Amino acid sequence: MDQIIDLATWPRAAQYALFRNFQSPHYATTVRMDVTALMAAKAANGTSPYRGSLYAIGYGLHAVPELRTRFRGDVVTLYDRIALSMTVPRDDGSFGFGYLDYDPDFAAFDKAAQAEITRARTAPIEPDKDGRNDLAYLSCTPWLDYVSITNAMPSPEDCIPRIGWGKIVPEGTRYSMSMTVEVHHAIADGLHIGRYFEAVQTALDGFAL
């Protein structure tokens, strides 16, 4: 169940208060992820690297409570589940937005992801029109093997994490790709980002045959 956090007893209340009103409170961390198992699954049974990455990101976000924590005004909420809002490329070079619930069962998640991607490719663009907080923004740049990236932020109040990932490239007999997490420092520190990347790698390794 979603939980309103009691700031009087919250262990990171001091860090929250410190970074809450910074003019530039967001920071981005980029690491290389090993996607060898995911690419092997693609070769063996056609698993989509894009949808597999979506799944691994959802797994990582749900493994770290801080990345499911949001604030609005003076209210801080820990969400039990968050949705994935991803950019979906279109044939004309533009993109749409998809909204996808995370499901720990990959087969069910993959089926839902295929349907939502198909819808978002032709539907009118729908930028978070309801002002939701219970989501994360995801964007893939498969044309670039980048070393760092940042996102456009509407204001210092925006506390929704941004997840990006890049081109999959061979490294000898293995494959890797860049992945970036950009967060508001009031809700997450380096420890939590490390835990996120560890969980994502676990999910990516889970595609091993």
Could you please report the per-residue DSSP string of the chain? --EE--TTT-TTHHHHHHHTT-SS-EEEEEEEEE-HHHHHHHHHH---HHHHHHHHHHHHHHH-GGGGEEEETTEEEE-S--EEEEEEE-TTS-EEEEEEE--SSHHHHHHHHHHHHHHHHHSPP---TT---SEEEEEEETT---S------S-TT----EEEEE--EEETTEEEEEEEEEEETTT--HHHHHHHHHHHHHHHHTT--
Q: What is the dihedral of CA 182, 187, 192, 198, to 10 degrees?
A: -50
* Per-residue pLDDT reduced to its tens digit, 20-68: 989 999 999 999 999 999 999 999 999 999 999 999 999 999 999 999 9
The DSSP bridge pattern shows strands 135-141 and 162-166 to be parallel
Domain boundaries, the chain: 3-205
Distance CA 84, CA 100 (A): 5
**pTM assigned to the model:** 0.95
Distance CA 126, CA 87 (A): 11
For residue 21 the two structure tokens come to 């009103």
* Per-residue pLDDT reduced to its tens digit, 66-123: 999 999 998 999 999 999 999 998 888 888 889 999 999 999 999 999 999 999 888 7
Amino acid at 108: A
Distance CA 92, CA 188 (A): 37
Distance CA 96, CA 104 (A): 25
pLDDT band at 130 (very low <50, low <70, confident <90, very high): low
* Per-residue pLDDT reduced to its tens digit, 140-183: 999 999 999 999 999 999 999 999 999 999 999 999 999 999 99
CATH number of 3-205: 3.30.559.10
Phi, psi of 200 (to 5 degrees): -60, -40
